[in-house]
Amino acid sequence: MRKQRLVALLSASALVTGIIVSIPVAANAAPACDGKSPIQSCVGVTSDGAPYSMMVPANFNGTVALYSHGYRYNIDIPAGIPLIGGYKVTNTPEPVPGGNAAVAQYFFSQGIAVMGSGFARQGWNPDSAIATNVELIGEFKAKFPTTTKVVAWGSSLGGVITQGLAEKYPNLISAAAPMCMADNIAPQLTGAGDFLWGLKVLFDPTIKGGNYSAGAAGNAEAYGDLVKVFTIMGKLQAALATGAWPDTSSATGKALAAGGVPSRSALLLLGLMAGLPTQSAHFDSIRGPEGPLKLTFPLALSPALAILENGTNAAALAVLATQDVELQAGGAIFDNTKTDYAARIDTERVIFNAALSGNTVIDALLGALSAANPGAPRAVGNATAIAKMNALHSNTGKINVPTILMTGVADPITPAGASQRVVNAYAEQFANEKLAAFAAYKTTRSYVAPVNKLLMLWNMTPSKGYTTFTDAGSPITTTPAASGTNHCNFTSAQLVLVAKTLVSAGLTGKLPSGGPIVSAGRKAGNLVVDKDFYAPLLKYYNQ
């Protein structure tokens, strides 16, 4: 019986990846359920047209986990676009992260239901997504009135949605777990805009880089930018050893090349001023090949290679998210007319001096990118559009319910600084709660200490490095991405740990601390609880 039960649960969990919403259910109608056992599947559409899925085990214990998926492109990507071509817009619900069978199995084995929405629109959508989730919670409770606890989690943009739900509607959920959480829209797109602008100014002035047209014309412009950016990255990779510049380089870029500035140093500076991590899926800035490059490679070459990987991975989101938000706001939303890029890298120019080829090259690059250089025209945003963008949902970082954050320290899409901002905000919040408790003590003579509501799990990169080389000394880039790198690059063990902690916090109102969670994080793989670790905030905050 136990073996048959396990097989049934595993089979049901595998179905999570295959839920396709194509049902004759009217918007805001009661969910349609198949009544199957051991896992009952229900589907429906909220009043805003968002399809959703619920999966409820026969031994449902009253707790349901609501998952919010991350950013999905809101336009189709033609097959001819490198790396991401062939993408089709989808609103398929995702009740567990990526349909992860281990996560589903954990929930179902504990009698916990799962649910998620495909949302009414793709792209940047926290405003509508939070409203959808509020309605979905109500739909679930109406269908399953024995529900006692709702816990919420999400990844990337879904982390923003989850945090926003906890900030606006803490009465609806008992615990939250925003994972690899994005920052608010202005900080996110500032970093993206800085990198795109830099590529345009130095490597290909035909890149539009924002201020896209409406409709099909704007789509074509975005597609063109994607092709150009990926082409530049390929040329930079091919010229890494020589430092040659792409043939598409601007007059400004060609002048730098003539002055002996290596293209890899220029690329690294663009990544630093945009806030991209200098560790990537295959480059750790620690290891070098055996031989004469053993020390030179990690010091002078690896950071640029990391920016090459991270920049390529981030480019698609940089282009498509900018176009998406511009359409919502009604105009150009990136403006760097007042940005001081020299101040942006004041610390980094010292740390990465060798990889940037020294102070003379750094000063030449900063001069080329200066607002005083006519060959580097700044991007001018539309004031009305920027105001509309800033009016989109933003999270304050306030913690209302027990919250678990998990993020990779070298995530190039949603930098770890986005989670650090919440950590900083909660440190101030908790300090104020202590002061309030002391003030109350003076009156009541009874001190009630505030309860910690935040657990930060840092997904670290391997401390001893992870770059590997062929016998000839060439770096190997075909191995899986290292822990703590790439976007939302979590293992099943790490996701299950967050799921378990989320459920426990929802039931008890408490988060684990001390040795047990430290040990659990280590066993799950490179998850660290360290109050002294500090991830740099996004560059937006210090411009």
Half-sphere exposure of 531 (CA within 13 A, CB side): 6
Q: How far apart are CA 347 and CA 362, in angstroms?
A: 12
pLDDT for position 297: 95
Which domains are delineated in the chain? 2-184+394-452+487-511 (3.40.50.1820), 186-389 (no CATH)
Taking residues 278-301, report their average pLDDT.
Answer: 95
For residue range 329-346, what is the model confidence (pLDDT) as tens digits? Answer: 999 999 999 999 999 999
pLDDT for position 7: 32
For residue range 247-280, what is the model confidence (pLDDT) as tens digits? Answer: 999 999 999 999 999 999 999 999 999 999 999 9
- Residue 100 CB contacts under 8 Å (≥ 6 apart), including other chains: 16, 492, 495
Per-residue pLDDT band at 186 (split at 50, 70, 90): very high
More confident residue, 313 or 433: 433
pLDDT for position 453: 98
Per-residue pLDDT band at 1 (split at 50, 70, 90): very low
- Residue 397 CB contacts under 8 Å (≥ 6 apart), including other chains: 163, 421, 422, 424, 425, 426
Helices (H), 99-214: 101-109, 126-143, 157-168, 185-202
Share of the chain above pLDDT 70, in %: 95
Nearest-CA neighbor of 98 among 173, 163, 158, 162? Answer: 158
Q: Is this model's pTM higher than 0.85 or not?
A: yes
**Strand-pair partners of 527:** 459
Taking residues 365-393, report their average pLDDT.
Answer: 97
Share of the chain above pLDDT 90, in %: 91
pLDDT reading at 305 higher than 60: yes
pLDDT reading at 121 higher than 80: yes
Residue 72 corresponds to which tokens in the numbers above?
Answer: 């999905």
Taking residues 86-110, report their average pLDDT.
Answer: 97
pLDDT reading at 180 higher than 60: yes
Per-residue pLDDT band at 521 (split at 50, 70, 90): very high
For residue range 10-58, what is the model confidence (pLDDT) as tens digits? Answer: 333 344 444 434 445 667 778 999 999 999 999 999 999 999 999 999 9
